[in-house]
Amino acid sequence: MNLNKSMIGIASNPYSVVIEREHVTRFAQAIGDNNLLYENEAYAKTTAYEGMTVPPTFLVALGSHAEFPLKLDFKRMLHGEQEFIYHQPVRIGDKLDCIMTVTDVYDRVGKSGTMQFLVLDTNMTTEDDTLVAVSRNTIIYRPVPKEAK
């Protein structure tokens, strides 16, 4: 399958995730981030965040819950870029309603030929539909190897 602009707007089924303290703690340990904002409520209340929050890159862990309708060849995929756009802090106990959508498809010529880029935005909202954050993932979709054509 090759990518094309007609894919823009294709979305996953909506899904919900509850931010659990244990998950946040394990994530912070895995990335070696021992910031007290993720563990110590008394300390976190004294900061600009006014309470515990999640590590900035934590949202990447929530994308695995998406059921995405595009059937992509995982052998051709490379992680290109990840961006997190926060509109408000994400806190332990928050229930986020999420939907992943194709927001862009474009081509670039590289050393091995034309590569395609797929941009996926996962919008994360509260139950009252307030946008909390967007996790933007750019996937590089490599050309089919010549011997496989």
Q: Give me the half-sphere count of Cα atoms (radius 13 Å) on the Cβ side of residue 35.
A: 16
Q: In what order do the strands lie in the sheet with 77-86?
A: 15-18, 95-110, 113-125, 131-141, 77-86
DSSP state of 9: T
pLDDT at 117: 95
Give every CB contact of residue 127 below 8 A, 6+ residues apart in sequence.
95, 97
Query: In which band, very low, low, confident or very high, does the pLDDT at 148 lie, cut at 50, 70 and 90?
Result: low
Q: Are 59 and 39 in contact (CB under 8 A)?
A: no
- Asked whether the predicted pLDDT for residue 27 surpasses 90, the reply is yes
Half-sphere exposure (Cβ direction) of 76: Cα atoms closer than 13 Å: 20
pTM here is: 0.86
Q: What is the pLDDT of residue 64?
A: 74
Q: What is the DSSP secondary-structure string of 74-94?
A: GGGEEEEEEEEEESS---TT-
Q: Which of 79-83, 84-88, 109-113, 142-146 has the lowest mean pLDDT?
A: 142-146
> Span 60-83, mean pLDDT?
86
Tell me the backbone φ, ψ of residue 96, rounded to 5 degrees.
-110, 130
Share of the chain above pLDDT 90, in %: 72
List, in order of start, the domains of the chain with CATH numbers: 5-19+62-148 (3.10.129.10)
- If pLDDT is split at 50, 70 and 90, which confidence band does 147 have? low
Per-residue pLDDT band for 112 (boundaries 50, 70, 90) equals: confident
Query: What sign does the dihedral 85-86-92-94 (CA atoms) show?
Result: negative
**More confidently predicted of 113 and 138:** 138
Mean pLDDT rounded to a whole number for the chain: 90
Between residues 54 and 1, the one the model is more confident about: 54
